[in-house]
Structure 1
Amino acid sequence: MSQIALPVQAHHTYGHALLPALMESGTYAIDPEPSGPPWRPWNEISAEEAEARGVFAPVHALSFGSPGAIVVAPGDARGTVLIPERCGGYCMGLDGRDGPNLACEQCGQAVATRIDDCSYWQAVWLARQAVVRLPGDGLAHRPVDWETLAQERRSTPPIEQSGAWNPRWEATAGAAVAHLLAASAGSPVAFLDDLTANTFGRALDALLPPGPPPAKKAALAGPDLPAADPAPEITLVPRHPQTGQAWQPAGNTKTVAVDADVWMYLAFPHERLPVPVTGGLPDGVLRDDPLPLHPREPFRPDSGVFLHTLARLPAVRQPWLRRIYDQVKDHPYARPF
């Protein structure tokens, strides 16, 4: 098993249908935050206690369970059996509401929680105290360097075959918009390319209070990408898919880390290559069949990821940003969400 960064959408729901597996087979991630019961409502937690946990704005409740839960793809779990009396769910599967629902096949101890209900990313969450990490056969797994990642240019398209927006894009945008707000310090933000502006700019324009120009410039920065001239005040950089570390640009600029697969698509958008047909195609002409995918509705960042991220940024204690947080918390489906 190879460790990767915890996906930004790991603890968030989406839509009302069955979702795919959160993790690719053969990978695992560790959640640094506490998870599972016991839960304590916000009105029972002091501000100092919450800030010690890295939470700076009101949330519904906080887990005081153990940190370090390990998530794997359901197909990678071995030697476990379901605990029948803990198999509760909302409508289509298991949601973990009754606590760990997988037991060790040999000793019967509860060791993990299987999640596969509608709206949830399918996953198996292993209890940290029930897991021992052992070295595997062969060479130790080493992170891929940035140059190799840039050459591979693995990316996730924003639109699915059905015409719906990819939930990974919506989750990534929710987190990025929270960081962009903090980096803006309340000033307008202007993006230097249309695709990035369409992804993040609409939300920022709706959330930021109207202010006088000049706007703070924001641009992509990362491996194999030429530096913007003049240098922007805010740069959107890729987050390494394995280590979770952000790519570091040169110069004095505020950085906002973005999921690497989404960043690659934003940095290196590509048209579909011509498909050979009888007689060939004239130079510069692309096939128009099948037609490019078009979304069914405007792009919207995920409000749940936005609130989760913003609540954990110290900047949210500033009055202007706290007002935005409270506004979205009270109306999570209003524009631009």
Structure 2
Amino acid sequence: MADVFACAGCGTVLTAPVSQVALPVHAHHRYGHEMLPALMEPGTYAVDPEPSGPPWRPWSEFGADEAEARGVFAPVHALSLGAPGAVVVAPGDTRHTVLIPERCDGYCMGLDGRDGPNLACSHCGQPVATRIDDCSLWQSVWLAPDAVRRSPANDSAGGTTAREASTEEWKGTPPIDPSGRWNPRWEAAVGSALAHLLAVSGGTPVTLPDGLVTDTFGRALDALIPPGPPQPPRPPAKSVALALALAGPGLAAPDPDADIALVPRHPRTGKAWQPPGAVETVPLATDVWIHLAFHRARLLLPVTGGMPDGVLRDDPLPPYPGELFRPDSGVFLHTLARLPAVRQPWLREIYDRVREHPYANPF
């Protein structure tokens, strides 16, 4: 069933009916210096299990044991002391909220939430949420977990029954946006998956299937795990190279020679699809995985016959980026810091190197 969120103080409904989905991997992803679209699709919400928002404590004030108890296994700039469980919705799904003027600071073009909740319940005036809409940030409203209450939506008020979407209804996101640049959702999704891929590789080079998988993962793997015999501090190689293959619902059985399967996260639960057998899995955002698994590029020329003289293909030409694909270093580091494998010396060395030079090759 769909849910609604209401003010914990007075019970005023603060959202339209919304259905829970997995938290997008780019939820805290910054991109460029421009206005970004909404983080969430209309009618959906997601929950961030980690503490979020101010106040913040710098890493130097955390002990390793305290950080690991929070699921962070490598140094980060700071950790939030806010409450876990913040709920994110699209700005258009909020109801009965008003801005708190003295908390409307931002970096450039809008609000960035630096002062904590900047939306109040219009009925009782209690701070209930944080609106984010500054440049480089995905537009969103984060409901404070201790200020709202969730309840099933009333069908008579427009609630809808949430049903499981079949794999045929899952939507793919193309890697190139209409402007001709690499899609920032892809940069974030590949950055997250790359962290998992390094962790399961054990430091062994990975061979990739031809096509877009190689275009998006290949340069990063070559830079972070150079091909050839492993060098200290990497561990001894398990084999000359590990093979990665796409696997998931709607595809044929995974290649029996594959050592690692690139699989989709379920769009609602966020759980990684599990292939048969003992193959290692690397989770990837569903919309990106769908495009990798099922999209087929248009042919440049007809299968039979030929194009008229002077005509190369249909107009308009498809957009192509003017630069090589770069995974998002911020998402990569955020994900890798939360994988226990980063405590291995060879992987910690990669983490520290990227953290010190986040815009160096391949980022």
**Distance across 2 between alignment mates of 1:327 and 1:5:** 30
Q: Structure 1's 184 and 285: CA in aligned 2 closer, same or farther, altered over 3 A?
A: farther
Amino acid at match of 1:173: V
Counterpart check, 1:105 vs 2:122: yes
The residue that corresponds to 1:4 in the other structure is: 21
CA deviations 1:203-232 (Å, max 9, x no partner) are: 011001443362100010011111243331
Amino acid at match of 1:83: I
Secondary structure of 2:111 counterpart: coil
Equivalent pairs counted in the alignment come to 327
Secondary structure of 2:243 counterpart: strand
RMSD: 1.8
Counterpart check, 1:152 vs 2:169: yes
CA deviations 1:274-322 (Å, max 9, x no partner) are: 9xxxxxx986879521212211210000000000000000000000000
**Distance across 1 between alignment mates of 2:129 and 2:358:** 31
Aligned residues of 2:118 and 2:131 also touching (Cα < 8 A): yes
Counterpart check, 1:84 vs 2:101: yes
The residue that corresponds to 1:277 in the other structure is: none
Q: Structure 1's 39 and 264: CA in aligned 2 closer, same or farther, altered over 3 A?
A: same
Amino acid at match of 2:87: I
Match of 1:208 among 225, 229, 234: 225
The residue that corresponds to 1:247 in the other structure is: 273
Amino acid at match of 1:246: A
Secondary structure of 1:92 counterpart: coil
Secondary structure of 1:75 counterpart: helix
**Distance across 1 between alignment mates of 2:73 and 2:228:** 25
Counterpart check, 1:143 vs 2:160: no
Match of 1:236 among 233, 257, 262: 262
Amino acid at match of 1:300: R
The residue that corresponds to 1:176 in the other structure is: 193
Aligned residues of 2:245 and 2:255 also touching (Cα < 8 A): no
**Distance across 2 between alignment mates of 1:257 and 1:35:** 23
Amino acid at match of 2:125: G
Match of 1:20 among 16, 24, 37: 37
**Distance across 2 between alignment mates of 1:15 and 1:69:** 25
Q: Structure 1's 124 and 192: CA in aligned 2 closer, same or farther, altered over 3 A?
A: same
Aligned residues of 2:190 and 2:216 also touching (Cα < 8 A): yes
Match of 1:301 among 327, 330, 337: 327
Aligned residues of 1:237 and 1:257 also touching (Cα < 8 A): yes
**Distance across 1 between alignment mates of 2:151 and 2:356:** 46
Secondary structure of 1:132 counterpart: strand
The residue that corresponds to 1:327 in the other structure is: 353
CA deviations 1:126-173 (Å, max 9, x no partner) are: 0011111121216642332xxx21x23521000012111100000001
**Distance across 1 between alignment mates of 2:327 and 2:139:** 21
CA deviations 1:79-115 (Å, max 9, x no partner) are: 0000000000011000011111000001010000000
**Distance across 2 between alignment mates of 1:270 and 1:25:** 28
The residue that corresponds to 1:269 in the other structure is: 295
Matches within 5 A, 1:211-230: 211-212=228-229, 214-230=240-256
Counterpart check, 1:37 vs 2:75: no
Identical pairs, percent: 70
Aligned-pair distance for 1:197? Answer: 1.4
**Distance across 2 between alignment mates of 1:306 and 1:182:** 12
Q: Structure 1's 224 and 84: CA in aligned 2 closer, same or farther, altered over 3 A?
A: same
Match of 1:256 among 282, 289, 310: 282
Q: Structure 1's 152 and 336: CA in aligned 2 closer, same or farther, altered over 3 A?
A: same
**Distance across 2 between alignment mates of 1:282 and 1:60:** 55
Unaligned runs of 5+ in 1: 275-280
Q: Structure 1's 23 and 285: CA in aligned 2 closer, same or farther, altered over 3 A?
A: farther
**Distance across 2 between alignment mates of 1:106 and 1:315:** 48
Aligned residues of 1:186 and 1:209 also touching (Cα < 8 A): no
